Structure 1
């Protein structure tokens, strides 16, 4: 049947220029970067590229001693690579759904495992979650991004954004928490009754409590973070 021909397959799946700018969702799970300069991306996320592009692993001291020490202390599981050049770069991360955010002098926290790529115009810093160090596999860390530029984040399946207001705080499972607004500082709370009820290991009893004004993004999946060798 013609609907299953190679020509039809190519027609349905071929790359298309949508003219959306620097970051473009080629599919819901594939990010196209229209590169003319530099971009930061998660190590190992390159699927394909065309043009003249070079890749460099982030230098050990590229971001200063402060961030180096933080990475050592947090057992950070995500390394970055810098792509330089001109061309089209395609990024993906284990088939996770990709969301693009344009920060306009905003700030956002992203779970380190869910950060796919961001423009070099953005300032960023690693934030430690001291309360859960050693309490969860690999520990947890997040990256705060500030300024003007684009960032691509990933989630297992469709993300859900919950609004946080002073009279209506939100409590989440850390393993299902993807990102939150820069105005929020989560507090870690332990619920022994939940741990007993679910009977599912120490991680289940730890929750993140968001209070104030802002938003938090969650996914319908509990990710387990394993510390990797740098």
Structure 2
């Protein structure tokens, strides 16, 4: 048996009774790992993903709609395939009870309703996305960290007890409850701290992402930190969590921008 290699092609021949018999010929395509084809193969969507909420990438949420509606953070849509219509949430969405809080907090226009059938892709400034499924449960999330949630999930803007929260940037949060999917975002990899009656948890409001729905945090002022650091620092304000539950924090102090 003789084998010959010519450039990007090869052939294998057999020698029988002094004659060369060709068995085949095939070209071999060599693809650079930096080619456009390689790039597309590496970054293309995964067709096997069929769940309602899917992580297409750690920072990119895919929502598979089948004649359904979902609430997403306004401005978070980065692409979609199919027939999907978008409608901005009005100030009166959620009832009159939330009107005053939405007007003060600037959260009246932060949500977008997406309805139809297709694949919807949403993201928020490269933040990491976490998917949770609530089973007749509730969770509190800082409003800036809510990326998307089922239409079946009820939302209510909650206000902390201390007006000091205005200065700390953490006065208003969103309580999500019911049964369905939600997606929240964090800067970097988050850490969950467990809260017990014996060990309350204290956090920086600007680094606090979410906590279990049964907890009611209080805003405290640390006088010693205020004296040491100065009045301009937000670290003098802390959120205190007491009882039984958990708190999710991120390795980043997020500055909340109020939008009117």
- Shorter-chain TM-score: which interval? over 0.9
Residue 141 (str. 1) matches residue 190 (str. 2): no
Structure number with greater CO (CA < 8 Å, separation at least 6) is 1
Q: How does 1:70-89 map to 2 (within 5 A)?
A: 70-76=101-107, 79-89=110-120
CA contact (8 A) 1:110 1:178 kept: yes
Please give the TM-score of this superposition, normalised by the length of structure 1: 0.94
For 1:184, the equivalent position in structure 2 comes to 215
Listed as ranges, the gaps of 5+ residues in structure 1 are none
Task: Quickly say closer, same or farther: Cα 1:14–1:65, change in 2 above 3 A.
Answer: same
**Alpha-carbon shift at residue 140 of structure 1 (Å):** 3.0
CA contact (8 A) 1:133 1:140 kept: yes
For 1:11, the equivalent position in structure 2 comes to 41
Q: Which moved more, 1:158-167 or 1:192-201?
A: 192-201
For 1:103, the equivalent position in structure 2 comes to 134
Cα deviations across residues 129-161 of structure 1 (Å, max 9, x unaligned)? 352353235x53111011110100000011111
**Alpha-carbon shift at residue 18 of structure 1 (Å):** 3.9
- Larger Rg computed on CA atoms: 2
**Alpha-carbon shift at residue 171 of structure 1 (Å):** 0.4
**Structural RMSD (CA):** 1.7
**Alpha-carbon shift at residue 77 of structure 1 (Å):** 7.7
Task: Quickly say closer, same or farther: Cα 1:31–1:200, change in 2 above 3 A.
Answer: farther
**Alpha-carbon shift at residue 72 of structure 1 (Å):** 1.3
CA distance in 1: counterparts of 2:50 and 2:205, whole angstroms:
33
CA distance in 2: counterparts of 1:17 and 1:213, whole angstroms:
41
Please give the TM-score of this superposition, normalised by the length of structure 2: 0.83
CA contact (8 A) 1:78 1:112 kept: no
Q: Which of 152, 155, 160 is equivalent to 1:124?
A: 155
Listed as ranges, the gaps of 5+ residues in structure 2 are 1-30
Question: What is the total number of aligned residue pairs between the two structures?
Answer: 228
Deviation above 6 Å: which 4+ runs of structure 1?
none
SS of the counterpart of 1:224? coil
For 2:8, the equivalent position in structure 1 comes to none
CA contact (8 A) 2:187 2:251 kept: yes
